[in-house]
Amino acid sequence: MAATKEYKNDYKYQPGFGNHFSSEALPDALPKGQNTPQLCPYGLYAEQLSGTAFTVDRKHNERSWIYRIRPSVCHTPFEPFHRKTQLVGNYTDEANVDITPNQLRWSPFDIPTEPTDFVEGLHSIAGAGDVGVKHGMAVLVYAANKSMDDTAFYNSDGDFLIVPQQGRLDITTEFGKILVHPNEICVIQRGIRYSVALPDGPSRGYICEVFNGTWSLPDLGPIGANGLANGRDFQTPVAAFVHEDVRPFRIVNKYGGRLFTARQEHTPFDVVAWHGNYAPFKYNLAHFNTINSVSYDHIDPSIFTVLTCKSEKPGTAIADFVIFPPRWSVQENTFRPPYFHRNCMSEFMGLIHGTYEAKQGGFVPGGASLHSMMTPHGPDAPTFDKASVEELKPMYIAKGTQAFMFESSMQLQPTHWAMAESGKVQHDYFKAWQGLKSNFDPNWKPASQ
C-alpha cells in the first residue's frame, strides 16, 4: 500500500446556518468564476451533490460542488448488507411495526458486547411514512463500541439529526471533520458520506431522520430577530482530505430502509475543496437562548424548539427538535412542571444527562419514552404532589440536565425491535399515574380577597 498523507483541519469550523460556504484545503483549489472548467485545479474531479431538485426555488435550493481526487462513482456494485436486525423504511406496513396507543417508556439501550460500529449499532425505534415516497420521519438509536475502520456510510433515505448521549463522535465527512460531544448535535444530510470514530470508547445516542424536507431554524414571530438557537452558533467543517494511491474502503448505503455495501479502492474522504449550502453542521445545546414565562402559567414546549423540519401545512412540522435545558422558573401562582396533556402530535423523548423535572424515576439517560397522538400524559404522582404545595420562589431548574423531544405531526408506530427484541420496554410505565388521587372538594370556596 502506498504512503498516506492526511491534510487535517484540526476541527476548524465556519460559523453560520444555511450559508453558502467556500472552503479549500489547498490554495486556489476552487475553480475561479465557474463550477466545471475543462480541467480543474490540481487535476481534481468536479462533482455536484444536490440536496434538492434543480428547480426548487432559490430560497430553498440546496447543493454543493465538491472537488475531489477521484469521483465517488468508482465502486463495485452494491450488495445487501446482512445483519441480524433490519432497519425499517416503510412504517405503513404492519409487518414492520407494533401499532399501540399506549404510553411507552424504555430503559437505557444496551451497549453491545460484540464488536459493533456506528452503522452496525443502528436500530429503528419508531416512525411514520415511507422512505420510498420521501414522506415521513423515523427515530433510531445507535450503540457502538468500535470505530468505522476503512468504512464509510451514507443515507439515501433522509437527513440524520444525531444526538450523542454517551461518548464523543469523531466524524470524518467528505466536507471535513466534526467532533461532536454529548450535549451537542450534528446534522448530516442525505447522500453525504462519513465515518464515525469513538475516541472515548463505547458510545450511545439518538437519531431523528426526516424523509422529506430539511432541518431549518424555527420562525421567531413576535419573539423578534434574536433568541432560541442563533444562526451564528452553528458550525460547518472546513475542507480536509486524505491523499493515498490505494486503500480498500467499504461503502455502506442506507436505501429504502435497507443497508447495502460496495467496495472501492480509494478513500471517499479525498475532497480538496468545496463550496455550497449543502453540508453537515453541529450545534452546542448550551448555546440555546432559553425563553420562558416571567409572569404565570407553564409555556408550551414549542418555545424550546432548536430546529424544525416543516411540512406543507404552515405551523405544522414533520419533526421538531426540542430541548428542556437548565433555566430559571419564576412563574407566580402556577403549577410549574409540564401540564397534563393530550396532543395531536407524537412526542418521543430522550435524556442526555441528569433528571427530567416531570418524572421522579424510570426515565434515565440513554432511555426514552413515546407518548402517541392523543394519548394522555403528564407529570407522575410524586411530581404532581410536590409541585402542588411547594413554595413558589425563583428556582433554577434542570441544573445538570438535558432532556429533549422529537415531536412530529405524524402518528409514530414503534418497531418490533423496540417493543420486543430490545428487551427494554418498561411494562409498568402506566403505574406512574396510578397514584394520582381525587382532590375534588364540593364544598370549596374562593379564598377571601
Half-sphere exposure of 239 (CA within 13 A, CB side): 22
Query: What are the cell numbers at 163?
Result: 444526538
- Confidence at residue 83, expressed as pLDDT on a 0 to 100 scale: 85
443 Cβ neighbours under 8 A, 6+ residues apart: none
- Confidence at residue 5, expressed as pLDDT on a 0 to 100 scale: 60
d(CA 106, CA 350): 10
- Confidence at residue 7, expressed as pLDDT on a 0 to 100 scale: 57
- Confidence at residue 422, expressed as pLDDT on a 0 to 100 scale: 96
Q: What is the pTM for the complete model shown?
A: 0.96
Nearest residue to 206 (alpha-carbon basis) of 109, 325, 101: 109
- Confidence at residue 181, expressed as pLDDT on a 0 to 100 scale: 98
d(CA 312, CA 16): 25
Distances (CA, A) of 205 to 2, 122, 258: 36, 10, 20
Q: What is the DSSP letter of 280?
A: -
Q: Are 131 and 158 in contact (CB under 8 A)?
A: yes
d(CA 130, CA 421): 22
Concatenated DSSP letters of 366-399: T-EEEE-TT--B---HHHHHHHHHS----EEEST
- Give per-10-residue mean pLDDT for the chain (449 aa): 56 96 98 97 98 94 97 96 90 94 97 96 97 96 97 97 98 98 98 98 98 95 95 97 85 97 95 98 98 94 96 94 97 94 96 87 94 94 93 95 97 96 96 94 85
Strand segments, DSSP code E, in 189-313 are 194-197, 203-210, 235-237, 241-243, 249-255, 258-264, 271-276, 281-284, 305-310
- Confidence at residue 1, expressed as pLDDT on a 0 to 100 scale: 41
Taking the CA atoms of residue 213, residue 45, residue 22 and residue 64 in that order, the dihedral angle to the nearest 10 degrees is -10
- Confidence at residue 448, expressed as pLDDT on a 0 to 100 scale: 73
Question: Is 356 annotated among the ligand-binding residues?
Answer: yes
Question: Is 123 annotated among the ligand-binding residues?
Answer: no
Q: Are 239 and 175 in contact (CB under 8 A)?
A: yes
Q: What is the DSSP letter of 415?
A: B
Question: Is 341 annotated among the ligand-binding residues?
Answer: yes
Q: What is the DSSP letter of 413?
A: E
Question: Is 377 annotated among the ligand-binding residues?
Answer: yes
Q: Are 397 and 338 in contact (CB under 8 A)?
A: no
Q: What is the DSSP letter of 90?
A: B
To the query of whether residue 298 is one of the catalytic residues in this protein, the response is yes
Catalytic: which of 181, 243, 287, 298?
Answer: 298
| Angle at alpha carbon of residue 214, lines to 213 and 216, rounded to 5° | 125
